[in-house]
Amino acid sequence: YLIKTSPVHFDMNNHGSTGIFITPQGIQENKPYVIINGAIENDNNSPLPVIVRHRITSAEGTLITEEQQKLNLKPLSKTSFKLSSKILRNIQLWSPDEPNLYYVTSLLYDEKNQLLDEIRNPLGFRYFSIHKDKGFSLNGKHCFIKGMGRSQDYDHMGYAIPDEIQINDVRMMKEMGVNFLRSHYPQDPVVWNECDKLGIMMTGRIPLFDKIAYTRAFAENTKQMMREMILQNYNHPCVIMWEYMNEIFGGMDWYWPKPQDPEKMKKEKEEVYKLAVELEKMTRSLDPYRLTEQVFHTDPNPQWYKEAGLTSVSMINGWNIYFGWYHGNLQLVGKAIDEFHSYNPNLPYIISEYGAGSDNRIHTETPTVFDFSQEYMDMFHKVYLSEVAKRPWISGMCIWTWCDFQVDSRRDVMPHINNKGMVTADRKPKDVYYLYKARWNPSPMIYIAGKNWTERKAITQGEKTITKKVTVYSNLKEIELLINGTSLGKKKITDYEAVYEVPFREGQNLLLARDINSDLSDAALITYDFQPLMLDASCRELCINVGQSRTFFFDPLTRNQWLPDQTYRQGSWGHVNGNYYRVWNEMKAWQGIREGVDNNILNTSIDPVFQTFLVGVTEYRIDVPAGEYVVELYFTEPFSRERRLKPEEQTGADVNGDRIFNVLINQVPVLKNLNLAGQYGEQYAVIEKFETKTTTGGIVINLLPVKGEPVLSGIRIMKK
């Protein structure tokens, strides 16, 4: 932007602010008025008498009042002004439910009534407070903070996104029922504006996290960011809070995974505390009308925040809690909330982050921690909602996060993506979006969960239908579910959902969920492919995600349906031996079954197929009728050499980190001395395709070790 002004204009040199600061007062007493502070710059070499006029209007343009002031500007100088308005009549309060917005248009005139400058600022009237036991209240009423964290990037676009996407995000959050926005940095200006308009409260935050430098320059830079953010956004009624530090001990690379250095730790705590106190003091002095918050984390050690004194600095303590994801399991969530609360029960408490990742390609009927299924994500969020509901002293909860967003260092199911979004990186809502909408947005709604799992495969044995659970999210009293026109009965909604046992047929199924009392409804088209236990003429192929015990993976590109692995039994298929590689087996704190590795597998887009694998598998059997088949074997060396050299990692490599094996299909050698790391490099996808013939039926794949133990990530079999 290039801004052209008259030589006499409102202050342009105050940290990028509009130069005008509006403070609504007297709201609680029902005698609302505003205090307007500001400054005018006179770049002329001569003095000038001016008139400053402030017009307060409603969002629709109705004039509420006009106040004015005469000032005598000195040459080449800045002149401050301050003005209190009269008490305003018929003011409507601003709240998420009724975001009544006003504007203050400040006009600067010379003696001849010539307009010199004009600035419009938003204005909203609301009062709020927060209490350690009673939580947050807005305009005198309790208001639970339904919060959302947000990164402002978009699929394949990075941060350079059009305003429309920013605005659409706020609109979609509003629709979901969110009333509070948080992020890791000050959001784009259009986001603050849209939050004013739609009634989403906000905590403004600077990007200070993970660690600090122990220098004055760092501290000053931090304060400068904070000052700019506050002054630029002071007038937004959406802002109720300022926040500075997030997970500030989280990035101590000198600590992880090495043991603690007590001296260094002491110094770290002192320095962080000092900076926090400084930031807190400055924030309160710049804006005494907002709350302040700091945000803490479980890693590496939550006690440090208390020991450092940080839990007594801000007005609110926020805790980022990832039990059931990065730590522990979902049974520990309540305990964790309470433990962190005990660090300072005298301050209001917010769960400032919590979240679990999901990849729309992954689904399961048996969700488990870190499986990246949509189903586990929903289970995770329900537990947090339920634990919070039991604790009325919690002021609010802030979902991490709005959208799947880009993090270069991540190596999960979609490398470089953090999948904890309510919506995908291209803003397609996941089921969890509607899980919250049912709870947080009172508008009547029905949503059939799993409706974006449109293409499914089920192993069957000649049944005409197969029965699967379907959950409907709703905030209605009672609904009815129909499959292909047949009612499955009415059900009362309990805890915002109704669960049905649904008989699906092969091919397309139409699910229809409808309200008993209105014309509200939802529909889902779900196609089932019935896979017989043995590959037969009716099925195109069998894709086995070897080493993955529970999840279904659908590849939208090839339309391959990858089934979870199983132990061999006659008349079916599975591994005869070998172990699911489970990175969390040995780490007691991380209960769950995180299978496979979190590496970016190169040369493929179906990382989850390659990331999970069996170690030490020497025989895999697939019972098929006699005939000719195409067999594809999916391999990768999942581990770095460094890791392969550590016996405790149980990578199956030999003492030299080598892994070499031969492969035979029905006794015919097809790969000799396969050395994945040597021939292709580590974490590189390799697909080997063979043809085989069986006259007696059955395909046996043998992987015979030469050095270390064989690994196998996937098998795809088709009739030739």
Q: What is d(CA 135, CA 394) in angstroms, rounded to the nearest whole number?
A: 6
Say how far apart CA 377 and CA 404 lie, in whole Å: 13
CB of 104 to a second copy, least distance (A): 13
Q: Under rule CB under 8 A, which residues in 618-647 are in contact with a second copy?
A: 625-628
- Burial (CB count within 10 angstroms: exposed 0-12, middle 13-18, buried 19+), residue 619: middle
Measured from the CB atom, is 580 or 629 closer to a second copy? Answer: 629
CA 51-57-61 angle, to 5 degrees, is 120
Only one of the segments 82-90, 554-562, 649-657, 698-706 lies at the binding site for a second copy (rule: CB under 8 A); that segment is 554-562
Nearest approach, Cβ of residue 485 and a second copy (Å): 4
Indicate whether 558 belongs to the interface with a second copy (CB under 8 A): yes
Which residue's CB is nearer to a second copy, number 217 or number 557? 557
Instruction: Please report, as a single letter, which amino acid is at residue 720.
Output: K
By CB under 8 A, name the one of 484, 487, 577, 679 that touches a second copy.
484
- Considering the complex, what minimum distance in angstroms separates the CB of residue 531 from a second copy? 16
> How far is Cα 43 from Cα 683, in angstroms, rounded to an integer?
64
3-class DSSP state for residue 683? coil
Return the H-helix or E-strand segment holding 250.
Answer: none
Distance CA 70, CA 181 (A): 40
Q: What's the closest the beta carbon of residue 111 comes to a second copy, in angstroms? A: 23
Residue 3 interacts with a second copy (CB under 8 A): yes or no: no
Nearer to a second copy, 365 or 426 (CB): 426
**What's the angle, vertex CA 276, arms to CA 249 and CA 247, rounded to 5?**
25
Query: By CB under 8 A, is residue 523 in contact with a second copy?
Result: yes
Q: Residue 144: helix, strand or coil by DSSP? A: coil
Query: Which stretch in 23-31, 349-357, 459-467, 509-517 sits in contact with a second copy by CB under 8 A?
Result: 509-517
Q: Which of 262, 519, 589, 647 binds a second copy (CB under 8 A)?
A: 519
Q: Name the one range near a second copy by CB under 8 A: 272-280, 282-290, 394-402, 510-518.
A: 510-518
Instruction: Kindly tell me which residue out of 521, 591, 600, 662 binds a second copy, with binding defined by CB under 8 A.
Output: 521
Instruction: Name the one range near a second copy by CB under 8 A: 367-375, 483-491, 584-592, 641-649.
Output: 483-491
**Residue 61 near a second copy by CB under 8 A:** yes
Q: What is the dihedral of CA 256, 260, 262, 264, to 10 degrees?
A: -20
Which tokens go with 711?
């690994």
Stretch that binds a second copy, among 369-377, 431-439, 557-565, 591-599 (CB under 8 A): 557-565
Query: Could you tell me if 448 and 525 are in contact, meaning their C-beta atoms sit under 8 angstroms apart?
Result: no
Mark residue 547 as left, alpha or beta (left: phi above 0; alpha: psi -120 to 50; beta: remaining). Answer: left
Which one of 31-39, 159-167, 380-388, 544-552 is the stretch in contact with a second copy (CB under 8 A)?
A: 159-167
| Binding positions for a second copy, 167-186, rule CB under 8 A | 167-168, 171
Residue 196 lies near a second copy (rule: CB under 8 A): no
For residue 63, state whether it binds a second copy (rule: CB under 8 A): no
Q: What is the C-alpha to C-alpha distance for residues 234 and 123, in angstroms, rounded to an integer?
A: 10
H helices, E strands: number in the chain: 11, 44
Binding mask 14-53 for a second copy (x = CB under 8 A): ----------------------------------------
Token look-up 């007691």 returns 588
557 belongs to the binding site for a second copy (CB under 8 A): yes
Q: Which is nearer to a second copy, 213 or 510 (CB)?
A: 510
Please pick, from the candidates 123, 165, 379, 597, the single residue that binds a second copy as defined by CB under 8 A: 165
Q: How far apart are the C-alpha atoms of 637 and 676, rounded to whole Å?
A: 6
Residue 563 is classified by DSSP as E
Residue 287 in contact with a second copy, rule: CB under 8 A: no
Closer residue to a second copy, CB minimum distance, 165 or 665:
165
Please, what is the minimum distance in Å from the beta carbon of residue 162 to a second copy?
6
> What are the two backbone dihedrals, phi and then psi, of residue 23, each rounded to the nearest 5 degrees?
-120, 110
What minimum distance in Å lies between the beta carbon of 103 and a second copy?
Answer: 8
CA 261 – CA 264 distance, rounded (Å): 5
Nearest to 417 by CA among 426, 427, 407: 407
Are 268 and 51 within 8 A, CB to CB? no
**Are 319 and 373 within 8 A, CB to CB?**
no
- Considering only the C-alpha atoms of the chain, give the largest distance between any 2 of them, rounded to a whole number of Å: 104
Which 110-139 positions form the footprint of a second copy (CB under 8 A)? 120
The answer to whether residue 516 forms part of the interface with a second copy (CB under 8 A) is no
Report the side by side order of strands in the sheet with 699-707: 573-575, 619-622, 699-707, 660-665, 668-674
What would you report as the CA-atom Rg of the chain, rounded to the nearest whole angstrom?
A: 30
- Judged by CB under 8 A, the stretch of 357-365, 462-470, 517-525, 589-597 that binds a second copy is 517-525
Stretch of 312-320, 333-341, 480-488, 588-596 lying at the interface with a second copy (CB under 8 A):
480-488
Cα–Cα distance, 674 to 688 (Å, whole number): 11
525 scored as a contact of a second copy (CB under 8 A): yes
Does 488 participate in binding a second copy (rule CB under 8 A)?
no
Q: Which residues of the shown chain bind a second copy in the complex (CB under 8 A)?
A: 59-61, 120, 162, 164-165, 167-168, 171, 484-486, 510, 512, 514, 519-523, 525, 537, 540, 557-560, 625-628, 720
